[in-house]
């Protein structure tokens, strides 16, 4: 346990940031899973879910939760799956 005041404050800040980041990452993963499930089940709302998942991935990348290249790769793979499902 930290003794110095600034270290105590920093520890509190880290806990808050960790909770915020975990929630954001979880919501991104949930959006992607919903899209994947919709594509697998040939649902009609796959395009809407793609848009939501793509937005969630972009948001996570902008916050620094995932790297930009991973975001691009994930979006590209989702777009390819959507195109294949619609073909």
Given a cut of 90, is residue 46 above it in pLDDT? yes
Structural domain boundaries enclosing 27:
3-84
What pLDDT, on a 0 to 100 scale, did the predictor assign at position 87?
79
Given a cut of 90, is residue 35 above it in pLDDT? yes
What pLDDT, on a 0 to 100 scale, did the predictor assign at position 1?
83
DSSP assignments along the chain, one per residue: ---SHHHHHHHHHHHHHHHHHHHHHHHHHHHHHHHHHHHHTT-TTHHHHHHHHHHHHHHHHHTTSS-HHHHHHHHHHHHHHHHHHH-
Round to whole Å and give the CA distance between 87 and 15: 46
For residues 5-14, average pLDDT = 97
The domain spanning residue 7 has which CATH number?
Answer: 1.20.58.110
Residue (of 59, 85, 83) closest to 71 by Cα position: 59
Overall number of domains in the chain: 1
């Amino acid at each position: 346990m930290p003794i110095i005041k600034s270290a105590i404050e920093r520890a509190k800040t880290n806990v808050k940031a960790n909770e915020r980041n975990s929630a954001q990452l979880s919501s991104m993963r949930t959006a992607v899973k919903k899209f994947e499930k919709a594509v697998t089940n040939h649902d009609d709302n796959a395009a809407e879910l793609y848009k939501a998942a793509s937005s969630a991935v972009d948001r996570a990348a902008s916050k620094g939760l995932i790297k930009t290249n991973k975001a691009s790769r994930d979006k590209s793979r989702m777009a390819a799956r959507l195109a294949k499902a619609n073909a």
